[in-house]
Structures are given as C-alpha cells and as structure tokens.
Structure 1
C-alpha cells in the first residue's frame, strides 16, 4: 500500500496527538473532515493503522525487569510452542527468528526471581529444547515508528 505525503502528515498527527478529535485533526491539516476520515479508514483497512489506545508501561505495572529469551524448539513443534507462549502473561511479544534459536520473546517480570520462574515455565513447555536469556539494562531507543513513517513519506514525495 502506498503511503503518500498527506498520509504521512495524518499518521504523524495521530501519533503525536492521539487524543484529538477527527474534526480538530482536519482543521490542523487544512483538509475536509470527510477526506481525513476516508484516509484514516483506508489506512486501517490496509493494515497501516493496526490499533489505537494507550501504550502501557510494564514497569509501571510492577514488572520493571525486561529480558529477551531465545527459545530453541524441537523440529516440527514451532506452532505448538508459539501457541503455548500466548498463555504466559509475562510474554509481551514473541517472534519466529533465524539465527541462534527458533523464537525470540520479550518478557516482563517483577524481579529476577520472577524472571527465573517464567524461564522455568518456558523450559517445561513441550517442544522446548533450551532457552538463552539476555537481560535488558536500559532502554536506549524507545519503540517508535515516526522516523520510519517520515522516511516513507519523504520517499513518496521524492518519487513524484
């Protein structure tokens, strides 16, 4: 799906001012409310916008320890293990990967002892061969998409 310069401006505004009304967005952008709503609907339909709502902090929820757990899986059991991970509330994300392991998970825990308990739970899942854990010390770049959105917008403008 092609994202043009107006889409980029819309996405930037949605990310920077998520609690603003559609009417106010249209006023800020200098476009008709119907045009804006049609653009937002298309961006949602095309999967560019995948959700709305608050971004939550695991640390503020009492889970300040962040770790990345690589999981090696017995051949043919990737889907089963992936499905089992969804039942572990401390798993924030899980991805199939190449390289050292089959799955990479992001885990939030209350403390190091809780993290060990979660890792033991993962080790005991049927199909899990071994795990390797890396602890996050400090977030250096927070999850972000705005630089990517702006790059896509610049590329769209340059192609004209």
Structure 2
C-alpha cells in the first residue's frame, strides 16, 4: 500500500487514519525529499498534510508572513512562525528557537509556505538544528506559478480544495 491508498482509505470514511497509514505516508514523504537538494525529513503532499493534521498526530507550522496570512488566507489551528518578514523577506534569525519554544523538537512538524520553497529552506534549518521529524508541505498554500505567472491554477493547498479561511 502506498500513501495515496492509505490516504484514500482514511478520507473515504472507511477507517480513521491508523498508525500504519501514518507510517506509510511519512515513509513516502521521506522518498520525496531528494527533489529539493536540502536536508530535512521529507516532503508531504497537501492532501496528505490535511489527513495527518486531522488526526492531531502532527503540527502544521505556517512560515509565511503575517501579511500573507491576513490577505491570502490560512489554515485554521496552525502555528505561525514567520521564516522571513516584511516586503524584503528578511530571514527570521530566531526561527529554529521559536519553533522549539512554540512546538518542541519531539513533534512531527509540517511546514507550509506559499509554494513550498521557503518552507523547504526552513525545514533544512530546523533539521540541522536537531528537529528529526520536520517535513515540507509540497506546493505550499497557493501553489506554483503557471504559464501566466499566476498561482492557484494547478496545485497547492487551496487548489486541492482543502480547508482554509480568510479574514
């Protein structure tokens, strides 16, 4: 069984996500990490992240700016620790320390940004700071740019119809 089968079984209402399903999804995520050429535990697909988040076995940390969360939207009940701030996106030098304080190193942590690139960089820093279960959410909240330089038209959290809100 692969992660998509485990995810389908869990989300079809047949069974809740089991420990075995969690392990399958996280093991598949570990195989995807090589795509980023950075060190972290693995890369989770948005649908997998939502299924895992619903079980309360993982914590999602949104690493986007306050402005992105406010004007673009966010996933409820996630932890917010900006990877970078302001329009210049100056890197938060206290990111790993804030992550340890707000979440802890013992949790399974999924990082979310706009497209999956900043969260991959943040996952790399966290991994090298001793976080052993740190995953990047592939595609991010808005997804990659399309041929017209627009986001949200072919991938990302919102594109997949996963829950989010905007104030």
Q: Which bracket does the TM-score occupy, shorter chain normalised? A: under 0.3
Structure with more contact order per residue of length (Cα contacts < 8 Å, sep ≥ 6): 1
Report the TM-score when normalising by structure 1.
0.25
Relative to total residues, which structure has the larger strand share, 1 or 2? 1
TM-score by length of 2: 0.24
